[in-house]
Amino acid sequence: DTAVSQTPKYLVTQMGNDKSIKCEQNLGHDTMYWYKQDSKKFLKIMFSYNNKELIINETVPNRFSPKSPDKAHLNLHINSLELGDSAVYFCASQRADNSPLHFGNGTRLTVT
């Protein structure tokens, strides 16, 4: 049983397109995150949701819009994709404040 699952695993698309990445967790956690990992493996927080409410919105272009239909799901929609959006995007969930994050296996986005 996969605890945090993301789809798709790979996403190749052209500049200007709109795409979505889906994330689901079956751990019963209240908090979910999106992180971006660049080519140098650096993980940077993008968004955080707690029980469907946006908690953290780092300096991310407004082309990125997270949506949480319920506390088990956090999706990421990206409009007008740019070359610089190419990266691996990780979803994570957390049981409680100051407890470890549990990560999915990532979505590798390539914009051509």
User: Contact at 8 Å (CB) between 79 and 65?
Assistant: yes
Q: Which of 19, 67, 73, 102 binds another protein (CB under 8 A)?
A: 102
Segment contacting another protein (CB under 8 A): 11-19, 61-69, 77-85, 99-107?
A: 99-107
In one-letter notation, the amino acid at residue 29 is H
Please tell me the distance from the alpha carbon of residue 30 to that of residue 45, in angstroms, as a whole number.
17
Q: Does 2 bind another protein (CB under 8 A)?
A: no
Q: Which of residues 13-32 bind another protein (CB under 8 A)?
A: 31
Q: Which of 7, 15, 55, 61 binds another protein (CB under 8 A)?
A: 55
Q: Which of 41, 59, 62, 83 binds another protein (CB under 8 A)?
A: 41
